Chains A and B, each alone.
Chain A
Amino acid sequence: MPVVLDADRISRSLTRIAHEILERNRGVDELALVGIRTRGVPIAKRLAHAIRDINGHNVPTGALDITLYRDDLMRHAVGPQPLIRRTEIPFSIDDKKILLVDDVLYTGRTIRAALDALIDFGRPKAIQLVVLVDRGHRELPIKADYVGKNVPTSPTESVQVHLTEVDGRDEVEITES
Protein backbone atom coordinates (compact mmCIF):
# COMPACT_ATOMS: atom_id res chain seq x y z
CA MET A 1 0.00 0.00 0.00
CA PRO A 2 2.07 3.01 -1.10
CA VAL A 3 1.36 6.05 1.07
CA VAL A 4 1.25 9.13 -1.16
CA LEU A 5 0.55 11.70 1.57
CA ASP A 6 1.29 11.36 5.28
CA ALA A 7 -0.18 13.47 8.10
CA ASP A 8 2.53 16.12 7.81
CA ARG A 9 2.17 16.47 4.03
CA ILE A 10 -1.63 16.69 4.31
CA SER A 11 -1.32 19.46 6.89
CA ARG A 12 1.23 21.41 4.84
CA SER A 13 -0.82 21.01 1.64
CA LEU A 14 -3.89 22.46 3.33
CA THR A 15 -1.92 25.39 4.76
CA ARG A 16 -0.53 26.11 1.29
CA ILE A 17 -4.02 25.92 -0.25
CA ALA A 18 -5.33 28.34 2.41
CA HIS A 19 -2.63 30.83 1.35
CA GLU A 20 -3.43 30.29 -2.34
CA ILE A 21 -7.15 30.91 -1.67
CA LEU A 22 -6.38 34.21 0.05
CA GLU A 23 -3.92 35.27 -2.61
CA ARG A 24 -6.29 34.55 -5.43
CA ASN A 25 -9.43 36.03 -3.86
CA ARG A 26 -7.95 39.15 -2.18
CA GLY A 27 -9.93 39.24 1.04
CA VAL A 28 -12.30 36.80 2.63
CA ASP A 29 -15.54 38.77 2.95
CA GLU A 30 -17.27 37.01 0.07
CA LEU A 31 -15.78 33.56 0.70
CA ALA A 32 -17.62 30.50 1.99
CA LEU A 33 -16.50 26.88 2.20
CA VAL A 34 -18.77 23.95 1.30
CA GLY A 35 -17.46 20.43 1.91
CA ILE A 36 -18.85 17.43 0.05
CA ARG A 37 -19.81 14.59 2.38
CA THR A 38 -18.14 12.62 3.77
CA ARG A 39 -14.46 13.62 3.73
CA GLY A 40 -14.80 17.00 2.04
CA VAL A 41 -16.44 18.27 5.22
CA PRO A 42 -13.49 17.88 7.63
CA ILE A 43 -11.14 19.21 4.91
CA ALA A 44 -13.34 22.32 4.55
CA LYS A 45 -13.29 22.80 8.32
CA ARG A 46 -9.49 22.50 8.39
CA LEU A 47 -9.20 25.09 5.62
CA ALA A 48 -11.48 27.45 7.57
CA HIS A 49 -9.19 26.95 10.55
CA ALA A 50 -6.07 27.57 8.47
CA ILE A 51 -7.52 30.81 7.05
CA ARG A 52 -8.38 31.96 10.57
CA ASP A 53 -4.81 31.26 11.65
CA ILE A 54 -3.53 33.42 8.81
CA ASN A 55 -5.77 36.49 9.03
CA GLY A 56 -8.21 35.98 11.92
CA HIS A 57 -11.29 35.77 9.72
CA ASN A 58 -14.01 33.17 10.16
CA VAL A 59 -15.12 31.82 6.80
CA PRO A 60 -18.64 30.28 6.95
CA THR A 61 -18.53 26.53 6.36
CA GLY A 62 -21.26 24.16 5.19
CA ALA A 63 -21.72 20.49 4.32
CA LEU A 64 -23.27 19.16 1.13
CA ASP A 65 -24.65 15.65 0.53
CA ILE A 66 -24.87 15.03 -3.20
CA THR A 67 -26.57 11.62 -3.14
CA LEU A 68 -29.94 12.91 -4.39
CA TYR A 69 -28.15 14.45 -7.43
CA ARG A 70 -26.09 11.42 -8.46
CA ASP A 71 -26.40 10.45 -12.12
CA ASP A 72 -26.13 6.72 -11.39
CA LEU A 73 -28.81 6.58 -8.69
CA MET A 74 -31.60 4.86 -10.60
CA ARG A 75 -29.48 3.18 -13.26
CA HIS A 76 -29.00 -0.18 -11.60
CA ALA A 77 -32.08 -0.85 -9.54
CA VAL A 78 -30.49 -3.62 -7.52
CA GLY A 79 -29.58 -3.42 -3.89
CA PRO A 80 -30.54 -0.80 -1.37
CA GLN A 81 -30.42 2.93 -2.02
CA PRO A 82 -27.36 4.83 -0.84
CA LEU A 83 -27.67 6.48 2.55
CA ILE A 84 -28.61 10.16 2.51
CA ARG A 85 -27.03 12.43 5.04
CA ARG A 86 -27.86 15.94 5.97
CA THR A 87 -26.97 18.95 3.85
CA GLU A 88 -26.17 21.88 6.12
CA ILE A 89 -25.51 25.23 4.49
CA PRO A 90 -26.46 27.67 7.25
CA PHE A 91 -25.80 30.82 5.18
CA SER A 92 -26.98 32.33 1.91
CA ILE A 93 -24.71 31.43 -0.99
CA ASP A 94 -26.08 34.30 -3.12
CA ASP A 95 -23.24 36.48 -4.45
CA LYS A 96 -20.67 34.49 -2.45
CA LYS A 97 -17.49 32.96 -3.79
CA ILE A 98 -18.00 29.32 -2.89
CA LEU A 99 -15.01 27.07 -2.32
CA LEU A 100 -16.30 23.58 -3.02
CA VAL A 101 -14.15 21.03 -1.19
CA ASP A 102 -13.71 17.29 -1.77
CA ASP A 103 -11.08 14.73 -0.92
CA VAL A 104 -10.44 13.07 -4.31
CA LEU A 105 -11.11 14.35 -7.83
CA TYR A 106 -11.56 11.41 -10.22
CA THR A 107 -14.25 11.18 -12.94
CA GLY A 108 -15.73 14.58 -12.07
CA ARG A 109 -19.25 13.18 -11.68
CA THR A 110 -19.47 13.96 -7.98
CA ILE A 111 -18.48 17.56 -8.70
CA ARG A 112 -21.09 17.78 -11.48
CA ALA A 113 -23.73 16.63 -8.96
CA ALA A 114 -22.40 19.09 -6.36
CA LEU A 115 -22.62 22.00 -8.83
CA ASP A 116 -26.25 21.14 -9.55
CA ALA A 117 -26.98 20.88 -5.84
CA LEU A 118 -25.28 24.20 -5.03
CA ILE A 119 -27.18 26.07 -7.72
CA ASP A 120 -30.43 24.96 -6.02
CA PHE A 121 -29.38 26.99 -2.98
CA GLY A 122 -28.95 30.27 -4.82
CA ARG A 123 -26.72 32.09 -7.29
CA PRO A 124 -23.13 32.25 -6.09
CA LYS A 125 -20.81 34.84 -7.62
CA ALA A 126 -18.30 32.08 -8.37
CA ILE A 127 -17.55 28.48 -7.47
CA GLN A 128 -13.96 27.29 -7.10
CA LEU A 129 -12.92 23.70 -6.58
CA VAL A 130 -10.52 22.49 -3.88
CA VAL A 131 -9.35 18.86 -3.73
CA LEU A 132 -6.79 17.12 -1.60
CA VAL A 133 -5.88 14.62 -4.34
CA ASP A 134 -6.36 14.78 -8.12
CA ARG A 135 -5.99 11.26 -9.50
CA GLY A 136 -6.88 12.00 -13.15
CA HIS A 137 -9.23 9.99 -15.45
CA ARG A 138 -11.82 12.72 -15.89
CA GLU A 139 -15.07 11.82 -17.68
CA LEU A 140 -16.46 15.37 -17.61
CA PRO A 141 -14.89 18.77 -18.40
CA ILE A 142 -14.08 19.64 -14.77
CA LYS A 143 -10.83 20.99 -13.37
CA ALA A 144 -9.72 21.81 -9.83
CA ASP A 145 -8.59 25.31 -8.85
CA TYR A 146 -6.55 24.16 -5.84
CA VAL A 147 -4.92 20.72 -5.60
CA GLY A 148 -3.13 19.23 -2.59
CA LYS A 149 -1.30 16.69 -4.73
CA ASN A 150 -1.59 15.34 -8.26
CA VAL A 151 -1.33 11.54 -8.06
CA PRO A 152 -1.09 9.64 -11.36
CA THR A 153 -3.08 6.43 -10.99
CA SER A 154 -4.36 3.59 -13.12
CA PRO A 155 -8.13 3.04 -13.25
CA THR A 156 -7.71 -0.29 -11.46
CA GLU A 157 -6.22 1.42 -8.45
CA SER A 158 -8.18 3.00 -5.64
CA VAL A 159 -7.19 6.12 -3.69
CA GLN A 160 -8.02 5.91 0.01
CA VAL A 161 -8.11 9.14 1.98
CA HIS A 162 -8.08 8.69 5.75
CA LEU A 163 -8.76 11.68 7.97
CA THR A 164 -8.53 11.81 11.75
CA GLU A 165 -12.08 13.16 12.14
CA VAL A 166 -13.55 10.16 10.27
CA ASP A 167 -10.96 7.40 10.27
CA GLY A 168 -8.78 8.13 13.28
CA ARG A 169 -5.63 8.91 11.26
CA ASP A 170 -4.36 11.22 8.51
CA GLU A 171 -3.06 9.37 5.46
CA VAL A 172 -3.63 9.01 1.72
CA GLU A 173 -2.74 5.66 0.18
CA ILE A 174 -3.17 3.89 -3.13
CA THR A 175 -4.47 0.35 -3.14
CA GLU A 176 -5.00 -2.13 -5.96
CA SER A 177 -8.75 -2.77 -6.17
Chain B
Amino acid sequence: MKKDLLGIGDLTEDEIHLVLDTAEAMREIAQRPIKKVPTLRGKTVVNLFYEPSTRTRTSFEIAEKRLSADTLNIAVAVSSVVKGETLADTARNIEAMAPDMIVIRHASSGAPHLLSRICRSRIINAGDGMHEHPTQALLDAFTIREHKKKIAGLKVTIVGDLLHSRVLRSNVLLLTRLGADVWVSGPPTLVPVGLERHGVRVSTSIDEAVADADVIMMLRIQQERMHGAFFPSLREYFSTFGMTRARVARAKPDVIIMHPGPMNRGVEIDSEVADGPYSVILEQVANGVAVRMAVLYLLAGGSEGD
Protein backbone atom coordinates (compact mmCIF):
# COMPACT_ATOMS: atom_id res chain seq x y z
CA MET B 1 0.00 0.00 0.00
CA LYS B 2 1.06 3.57 -0.56
CA LYS B 3 1.42 5.89 2.42
CA ASP B 4 -1.95 7.57 1.88
CA LEU B 5 -5.35 6.79 0.42
CA LEU B 6 -6.17 9.92 -1.59
CA GLY B 7 -8.08 8.28 -4.41
CA ILE B 8 -8.80 4.94 -6.06
CA GLY B 9 -5.77 5.55 -8.28
CA ASP B 10 -3.56 4.91 -5.21
CA LEU B 11 -4.64 1.26 -5.20
CA THR B 12 -3.64 -1.53 -7.55
CA GLU B 13 -6.25 -4.10 -8.49
CA ASP B 14 -4.67 -6.56 -6.05
CA GLU B 15 -4.78 -3.98 -3.28
CA ILE B 16 -8.49 -3.34 -3.93
CA HIS B 17 -9.14 -7.05 -3.47
CA LEU B 18 -6.92 -7.04 -0.36
CA VAL B 19 -9.02 -4.25 1.17
CA LEU B 20 -12.26 -6.10 0.37
CA ASP B 21 -10.95 -9.43 1.73
CA THR B 22 -9.67 -7.75 4.89
CA ALA B 23 -13.05 -6.03 5.33
CA GLU B 24 -14.68 -9.43 5.12
CA ALA B 25 -12.68 -10.52 8.17
CA MET B 26 -13.31 -7.21 9.97
CA ARG B 27 -17.06 -7.52 9.59
CA GLU B 28 -17.20 -10.41 12.03
CA ILE B 29 -15.98 -8.12 14.84
CA ALA B 30 -19.32 -6.26 14.74
CA GLN B 31 -21.07 -9.49 15.74
CA ARG B 32 -19.02 -10.07 18.89
CA PRO B 33 -20.16 -9.22 22.40
CA ILE B 34 -16.98 -7.13 22.74
CA LYS B 35 -16.70 -5.21 19.48
CA LYS B 36 -13.09 -4.21 19.84
CA VAL B 37 -9.67 -5.57 18.91
CA PRO B 38 -6.35 -4.20 20.22
CA THR B 39 -4.74 -3.74 16.80
CA LEU B 40 -4.24 0.04 16.68
CA ARG B 41 -3.60 0.51 20.39
CA GLY B 42 -1.52 3.61 20.96
CA LYS B 43 -2.16 5.03 17.48
CA THR B 44 -3.77 8.45 17.23
CA VAL B 45 -6.21 9.22 14.43
CA VAL B 46 -7.46 12.74 13.80
CA ASN B 47 -10.76 13.15 11.97
CA LEU B 48 -10.64 16.55 10.33
CA PHE B 49 -14.04 17.39 8.89
CA TYR B 50 -14.48 20.64 6.98
CA GLU B 51 -17.90 19.66 5.68
CA PRO B 52 -20.97 18.38 7.46
CA SER B 53 -21.06 14.61 7.59
CA THR B 54 -22.96 12.17 9.74
CA ARG B 55 -22.47 8.83 8.08
CA THR B 56 -18.85 9.03 7.01
CA ARG B 57 -17.55 10.65 10.19
CA THR B 58 -19.46 8.28 12.46
CA SER B 59 -18.37 5.34 10.36
CA PHE B 60 -14.68 6.29 10.54
CA GLU B 61 -14.93 6.98 14.26
CA ILE B 62 -16.57 3.62 15.00
CA ALA B 63 -13.98 1.87 12.81
CA GLU B 64 -11.12 3.60 14.65
CA LYS B 65 -12.57 2.80 18.07
CA ARG B 66 -13.17 -0.85 17.17
CA LEU B 67 -9.47 -1.08 16.33
CA SER B 68 -8.58 0.60 19.68
CA ALA B 69 -7.06 3.75 18.15
CA ASP B 70 -7.30 7.02 20.06
CA THR B 71 -9.52 9.29 18.04
CA LEU B 72 -9.93 13.00 17.95
CA ASN B 73 -12.61 14.83 16.00
CA ILE B 74 -12.05 18.32 14.73
CA ALA B 75 -15.20 19.91 13.41
CA VAL B 76 -14.58 23.14 11.62
CA ALA B 77 -17.40 25.13 13.20
CA VAL B 78 -15.59 25.04 16.56
CA SER B 79 -11.97 25.17 15.37
CA SER B 80 -9.47 27.91 14.55
CA VAL B 81 -10.55 27.76 10.93
CA VAL B 82 -13.34 30.16 11.81
CA LYS B 83 -10.61 32.52 13.03
CA GLY B 84 -9.02 32.49 9.57
CA GLU B 85 -6.35 29.79 9.81
CA THR B 86 -5.38 28.27 6.45
CA LEU B 87 -5.68 24.54 5.77
CA ALA B 88 -1.89 24.20 5.54
CA ASP B 89 -1.39 25.89 8.91
CA THR B 90 -4.07 23.78 10.56
CA ALA B 91 -2.41 20.68 9.10
CA ARG B 92 1.07 21.69 10.33
CA ASN B 93 -0.29 22.32 13.81
CA ILE B 94 -2.06 18.97 13.96
CA GLU B 95 1.08 17.33 12.57
CA ALA B 96 3.13 18.90 15.37
CA MET B 97 1.11 16.82 17.84
CA ALA B 98 2.27 13.67 16.02
CA PRO B 99 -0.90 11.84 15.06
CA ASP B 100 -0.45 8.62 13.07
CA MET B 101 -3.29 9.19 10.65
CA ILE B 102 -5.48 12.06 9.51
CA VAL B 103 -8.89 11.44 7.97
CA ILE B 104 -9.95 14.54 6.04
CA ARG B 105 -13.21 15.69 4.48
CA HIS B 106 -13.03 19.02 2.66
CA ALA B 107 -15.18 21.01 0.23
CA SER B 108 -12.15 21.72 -1.99
CA SER B 109 -10.94 19.07 -4.41
CA GLY B 110 -7.31 18.26 -3.67
CA ALA B 111 -7.28 19.24 0.01
CA PRO B 112 -6.11 15.74 1.09
CA HIS B 113 -3.31 15.96 -1.50
CA LEU B 114 -2.10 19.19 0.08
CA LEU B 115 -2.02 17.46 3.47
CA SER B 116 -0.22 14.50 1.96
CA ARG B 117 2.59 16.80 0.80
CA ILE B 118 3.12 18.51 4.15
CA CYS B 119 2.34 15.73 6.66
CA ARG B 120 4.21 12.61 7.66
CA SER B 121 0.98 11.16 9.06
CA ARG B 122 -0.97 8.82 6.82
CA ILE B 123 -3.79 10.71 5.07
CA ILE B 124 -7.15 9.18 4.24
CA ASN B 125 -9.47 11.07 1.92
CA ALA B 126 -13.01 11.02 3.33
CA GLY B 127 -14.36 13.07 0.43
CA ASP B 128 -12.80 16.11 -1.24
CA GLY B 129 -15.08 18.48 -3.10
CA MET B 130 -16.22 17.09 -6.42
CA HIS B 131 -13.13 14.91 -6.74
CA GLU B 132 -13.08 11.55 -4.93
CA HIS B 133 -14.48 9.56 -2.01
CA PRO B 134 -12.45 6.37 -2.15
CA THR B 135 -13.74 4.59 0.97
CA GLN B 136 -17.32 5.01 -0.30
CA ALA B 137 -16.41 3.32 -3.58
CA LEU B 138 -14.67 0.52 -1.68
CA LEU B 139 -17.69 -0.12 0.53
CA ASP B 140 -19.95 -0.03 -2.54
CA ALA B 141 -17.74 -2.61 -4.25
CA PHE B 142 -17.77 -4.69 -1.07
CA THR B 143 -21.59 -4.60 -0.98
CA ILE B 144 -21.85 -5.53 -4.68
CA ARG B 145 -19.38 -8.40 -4.30
CA GLU B 146 -21.28 -9.65 -1.26
CA HIS B 147 -24.51 -9.93 -3.25
CA LYS B 148 -23.23 -10.89 -6.68
CA LYS B 149 -20.08 -12.83 -5.68
CA LYS B 150 -18.17 -10.94 -8.41
CA ILE B 151 -17.86 -7.52 -10.00
CA ALA B 152 -16.41 -8.24 -13.46
CA GLY B 153 -19.07 -8.38 -16.15
CA LEU B 154 -21.89 -6.87 -14.06
CA LYS B 155 -23.98 -4.05 -15.49
CA VAL B 156 -23.82 -1.27 -12.94
CA THR B 157 -26.02 1.75 -13.64
CA ILE B 158 -25.34 5.00 -11.81
CA VAL B 159 -28.11 7.61 -11.98
CA GLY B 160 -28.37 11.16 -10.71
CA ASP B 161 -26.22 14.23 -10.20
CA LEU B 162 -23.11 12.95 -11.95
CA LEU B 163 -21.45 16.34 -12.24
CA HIS B 164 -21.04 17.15 -8.55
CA SER B 165 -20.46 13.61 -7.37
CA ARG B 166 -17.15 12.44 -5.90
CA VAL B 167 -18.88 9.13 -5.23
CA LEU B 168 -19.36 8.76 -8.99
CA ARG B 169 -15.71 9.48 -9.77
CA SER B 170 -14.36 6.99 -7.26
CA ASN B 171 -16.90 4.36 -8.28
CA VAL B 172 -16.21 4.73 -12.00
CA LEU B 173 -12.47 4.37 -11.41
CA LEU B 174 -12.89 1.34 -9.17
CA LEU B 175 -15.67 -0.50 -11.02
CA THR B 176 -14.13 -0.13 -14.48
CA ARG B 177 -10.79 -1.27 -13.03
CA LEU B 178 -12.49 -4.45 -11.78
CA GLY B 179 -14.15 -5.05 -15.13
CA ALA B 180 -17.76 -3.97 -14.52
CA ASP B 181 -19.88 -2.63 -17.39
CA VAL B 182 -20.66 0.84 -16.02
CA TRP B 183 -23.59 2.88 -17.35
CA VAL B 184 -24.50 6.37 -16.18
CA SER B 185 -27.62 8.41 -16.68
CA GLY B 186 -28.75 11.89 -15.71
CA PRO B 187 -29.80 15.21 -17.18
CA PRO B 188 -27.30 16.38 -19.87
CA THR B 189 -26.53 19.43 -17.72
CA LEU B 190 -25.30 17.14 -14.96
CA VAL B 191 -23.10 14.85 -17.06
CA PRO B 192 -19.38 15.75 -16.76
CA VAL B 193 -17.65 16.33 -20.08
CA GLY B 194 -15.46 13.45 -21.22
CA LEU B 195 -16.95 10.81 -18.91
CA GLU B 196 -17.06 8.31 -21.82
CA ARG B 197 -13.28 8.40 -21.97
CA HIS B 198 -13.22 6.44 -18.71
CA GLY B 199 -14.92 3.47 -20.35
CA VAL B 200 -18.40 4.43 -19.19
CA ARG B 201 -21.60 4.27 -21.26
CA VAL B 202 -23.53 7.53 -20.99
CA SER B 203 -27.26 7.55 -21.71
CA THR B 204 -29.78 10.33 -21.12
CA SER B 205 -32.52 7.69 -21.25
CA ILE B 206 -32.85 6.18 -17.80
CA ASP B 207 -34.94 3.35 -19.21
CA GLU B 208 -32.10 2.30 -21.50
CA ALA B 209 -29.54 2.69 -18.73
CA VAL B 210 -31.39 0.53 -16.18
CA ALA B 211 -32.47 -2.19 -18.65
CA ASP B 212 -31.11 -5.53 -17.38
CA ALA B 213 -28.93 -3.83 -14.77
CA ASP B 214 -27.44 -5.99 -12.00
CA VAL B 215 -26.85 -2.98 -9.79
CA ILE B 216 -28.53 0.43 -9.69
CA MET B 217 -26.70 3.12 -7.78
CA MET B 218 -28.57 6.36 -7.11
CA LEU B 219 -26.74 9.62 -6.49
CA ARG B 220 -28.06 12.50 -4.45
CA ILE B 221 -29.05 15.76 -6.10
CA GLN B 222 -26.50 18.03 -4.43
CA GLN B 223 -28.41 21.27 -4.20
CA GLU B 224 -25.74 22.79 -1.97
CA ARG B 225 -23.23 22.58 -4.82
CA MET B 226 -25.60 23.82 -7.54
CA HIS B 227 -25.11 27.44 -8.44
CA GLY B 228 -27.35 27.57 -11.48
CA ALA B 229 -30.39 25.95 -13.02
CA PHE B 230 -29.48 22.41 -14.05
CA PHE B 231 -33.07 21.22 -14.41
CA PRO B 232 -36.45 22.96 -14.27
CA SER B 233 -37.77 21.59 -10.97
CA LEU B 234 -37.29 18.77 -8.48
CA ARG B 235 -40.67 17.40 -9.50
CA GLU B 236 -39.65 17.28 -13.12
CA TYR B 237 -36.34 15.70 -12.15
CA PHE B 238 -38.15 12.97 -10.25
CA SER B 239 -40.48 12.20 -13.14
CA THR B 240 -37.57 11.98 -15.62
CA PHE B 241 -34.78 10.42 -13.51
CA GLY B 242 -36.30 9.37 -10.19
CA MET B 243 -36.01 5.70 -9.32
CA THR B 244 -39.52 4.28 -9.17
CA ARG B 245 -40.78 0.75 -8.89
CA ALA B 246 -41.72 0.76 -12.59
CA ARG B 247 -38.12 1.61 -13.52
CA VAL B 248 -36.66 -0.97 -11.16
CA ALA B 249 -38.82 -3.55 -12.96
CA ARG B 250 -36.77 -3.00 -16.14
CA ALA B 251 -33.61 -4.21 -14.41
CA LYS B 252 -32.66 -7.83 -13.67
CA PRO B 253 -35.03 -9.60 -11.23
CA ASP B 254 -32.22 -9.83 -8.64
CA VAL B 255 -31.10 -6.20 -9.02
CA ILE B 256 -29.80 -4.40 -5.93
CA ILE B 257 -30.51 -0.71 -5.32
CA MET B 258 -27.78 1.37 -3.70
CA HIS B 259 -27.52 4.93 -2.45
CA PRO B 260 -24.53 6.50 -0.68
CA GLY B 261 -26.82 8.72 1.42
CA PRO B 262 -28.13 11.08 2.52
CA MET B 263 -31.22 10.36 0.43
CA ASN B 264 -33.63 12.92 -0.96
CA ARG B 265 -36.80 10.86 -0.89
CA GLY B 266 -39.12 11.79 -3.74
CA VAL B 267 -36.31 13.55 -5.63
CA GLU B 268 -33.86 10.91 -6.86
CA ILE B 269 -35.52 7.89 -5.27
CA ASP B 270 -39.06 6.88 -4.41
CA SER B 271 -39.58 5.84 -0.78
CA GLU B 272 -41.16 2.65 -2.04
CA VAL B 273 -37.83 1.74 -3.70
CA ALA B 274 -35.57 3.04 -0.91
CA ASP B 275 -37.36 0.87 1.66
CA GLY B 276 -38.20 -1.93 -0.75
CA PRO B 277 -36.90 -5.48 -1.05
CA TYR B 278 -34.11 -4.67 -3.53
CA SER B 279 -32.62 -1.93 -1.39
CA VAL B 280 -29.21 -2.60 0.23
CA ILE B 281 -28.80 0.98 1.40
CA LEU B 282 -28.49 0.15 5.10
CA GLU B 283 -26.15 -2.75 4.36
CA GLN B 284 -23.88 -0.21 2.68
CA VAL B 285 -23.75 1.71 5.95
CA ALA B 286 -22.94 -1.42 7.97
CA ASN B 287 -20.28 -2.49 5.46
CA GLY B 288 -18.75 1.00 5.59
CA VAL B 289 -17.44 0.36 9.09
CA ALA B 290 -15.76 -2.93 8.08
CA VAL B 291 -14.21 -1.41 4.96
CA ARG B 292 -12.85 1.58 6.88
CA MET B 293 -11.41 -0.76 9.52
CA ALA B 294 -9.65 -2.59 6.70
CA VAL B 295 -8.24 0.64 5.24
CA LEU B 296 -7.05 1.87 8.64
CA TYR B 297 -5.40 -1.47 9.41
CA LEU B 298 -3.70 -1.79 6.03
CA LEU B 299 -2.41 1.81 6.02
CA ALA B 300 -1.08 1.50 9.58
CA GLY B 301 1.59 -0.91 8.35
CA GLY B 302 4.68 0.04 6.41
CA SER B 303 4.43 1.66 3.00
CA GLU B 304 6.53 1.47 -0.12
CA GLY B 305 7.99 4.86 0.65
CA ASP B 306 9.36 3.97 4.12
A interface residue numbers (CB < 8 A to B): 65, 68-69, 73-74, 76-81, 83-88, 116-117, 120-122
Query: Once the chains bind, are A121 and B300 in contact (CB under 8 Å)?
Result: no
The winner among A68, A80, A83, A117 for most chain B CB atoms within 10 A is A68
Known A84-B26, A87-B25: A68·B302 in contact at CB below 8 Å: no
> By DSSP majority rule, is chain B's interface helix, strand, loop, or mixed?
loop
Closest residue on chain A to residue B306 by CB atoms: A78
Query: Once the chains bind, are B302 and A69 in contact (CB under 8 Å)?
Result: no
Query: Once the chains bind, are B301 and A81 in contact (CB under 8 Å)?
Result: yes
Select one of B25, B38, B40, B302 contacting A84, CB under 8 A: B25
Query: Once the chains bind, are A80 and B1 in contact (CB under 8 Å)?
Result: yes
Query: Once the chains bind, are A65 and B37 in contact (CB under 8 Å)?
Result: no
Closest residue on chain A to residue B1 by CB atoms: A80
Query: Once the chains bind, are A121 and B32 in contact (CB under 8 Å)?
Result: yes
Q: Is residue B297 within 8 Å, beta carbon to beta carbon, of the partner chain?
A: yes
Select one of A69, A73, A84 contacting B22, CB under 8 A: A84
Query: Once the chains bind, are B28 and A120 in contact (CB under 8 Å)?
Result: no
Query: Once the chains bind, are B300 and A87 in contact (CB under 8 Å)?
Result: no
Taking CB atoms, residues of chain A closer than 8 Å to B26 are 84
Q: Would you give 27 A-B contacts (Cβ < 8 Å), ordered by A? A: A68-B37, A68-B297, A69-B39, A73-B39, A74-B39, A74-B40, A74-B300, A76-B302, A78-B302, A80-B298, A80-B301, A81-B1, A81-B297, A81-B301, A83-B18, A83-B22, A84-B25, A84-B26, A85-B25, A86-B24, A87-B25, A87-B28, A120-B32, A120-B33, A120-B36, A121-B34, A122-B33
